[in-house]
Amino acid sequence: MKMPSVAVSAKGLMKWFGEGPARTLAINDASIDAWHGEMLYIVGPSGSGKTTLLSILSGILRPDAGSVLVEDIDIWKLDSDALAAFRLKTLGFVFQDYHLFPRLTTVENVAIPLILQKRNWDEALGEAMKMLEVVGLETRAQLPPVKLSGGEQQRVAIARAIVARPDILVLDEPTASLDGDTGRRILGFVREQLLSEQRCILVVTHDARVFDYADRILHMEDGRITGLEREAR
Ligand SMILES: Nc1ncnc2c1ncn2[C@@H]1O[C@H](COP(=O)(O)OP(=O)(O)OP(=O)(O)O)[C@@H](O)[C@H]1O
């Protein structure tokens, strides 16, 4: 059997927030390897450090110690321009609060990663439209995101994150505003589409309804990684 290759490898991560008596250790000596072709979940109680870890792994938040290799590149040694270019080329994100652009239409929001990669505007809008069909929002394409419900905005954020087929997809509570069926359908689609291309998907979630999509589940508590389960798939 072919061994999976490592997509993201983090070693000895530490992260503190705040100063003096309010200083909090958010990540305490965390190390992980995530592989191409797997969906790796990060679960744990509120405040255990899941979002902080995801932000460090995806080049958004600088750790105080430790290293992160993504596709063999030591991302925290890149300068800020190189890191931004690398994130654009390699990573797709869905944040907890979606980060949609209010002045753009829904379809333009989904097209953004393709436009930033210098794809032709009409072609980018065409691809974005196909993604909106997948998440069931083609009739909302020309509306601004504020006209959409929370669950619809979450689906737009997911469509935008996968439209450029990123090597690594990072999802923070991707099903929080979705009903059970929609959440499962969309995560199932993401899994099927991206894992068949050997992409790596990192998911922070509390949503037990979608746990069975995970290949492995990493548990966190008080900033530490306390366990790793392999799901029987
Ligand atoms: N920007 C920040 N400034 C100060 N403290 C922070 C900041 N971000 C996170 N923390 C603290 O770091 C710890 C880990 O937070 P984090 O948001 O990573 O946890 P989480 O497991 O994702 O929680 P949740 O499930 O509630 O989103 C918490 O104690 C939190 O209060």
CATH of residue 88's domain is: 3.40.50.300
Over residues 118-129, the pLDDT tens digits come to 899 999 999 999
As a whole number, mean pLDDT of residues 91-109 equals: 91
What pLDDT does 232 receive?
47
Residue 55 lies in a domain: yes
Name the closest-CA residue to atom 14, ligand 1: 49
Nearest residue (CA) to ligand 1, atom 5: 17
Q: How far is the CA of 49 from the centre of ligand 1 (A)?
A: 6
Is residue 224 situated within a structural domain? Answer: yes
The DSSP string of 49-71 is SHHHHHHHHTTSS--SEEEEEET
Largest CA distance in the chain: 54
For residue 176, being part of any structural domain is answered with yes
Q: How far is the CA of 118 from the centre of ligand 1 (A)?
A: 35
The ipTM is: 0.96
Q: Write out the residue range of the structural domain in which residue 176 sits.
A: 6-230
**Is residue 67, in this structure, part of any structural domain at all?**
yes
pLDDT(3) > 70? no
SS3 157: helix
In angstroms, what is the span from residue 50 Cα to ligand 1's centroid?
8
Domains in the chain, number: 1
Residue 161 lies in a domain: yes
* Closest by CA position to 187, among listed 166, 173, 168: 173
Instruction: Please state whether beta strands 65-70 and 73-74 pair in parallel, antiparallel, or not at all (unpaired).
Output: antiparallel
Residue 92, strand partner residues: 169
The whole-number average pLDDT for the span 161-169 is 92
174 vs 143, more confident: 143
Residue 35 resides in a domain:
yes
Mean pLDDT of 21-25: 92
**Cα separation of 105 and 162, whole Å?**
18
Query: 3-class DSSP state for residue 42?
Result: strand
Write down the residue that tokens 């300068």 correspond to: 79
Nearest ligand 1 atom to alpha carbon 206: 25
Question: How sure is the predictor about 72, in pLDDT bands with cuts at 50, 70 and 90?
Answer: confident
Which residue ranges have their beta carbon within 6 Å of ligand 1?
A: 17-18, 24, 26, 44, 46-52
Residue 96 lies in a domain: yes
Residues 6+ apart with CB under 8 A from 94: 154, 157, 158, 161, 170, 171, 172, 174
In a domain, residue 1? The reply is no
Which amino acid is located at 69 in the chain? Answer: L
DSSP string, 74-139: EGGGS-HHHHHHHHHHHEEEE-TT----TTS-HHHHHHHHHHHTT--HHHHHHHHHHHHHHTT-GG
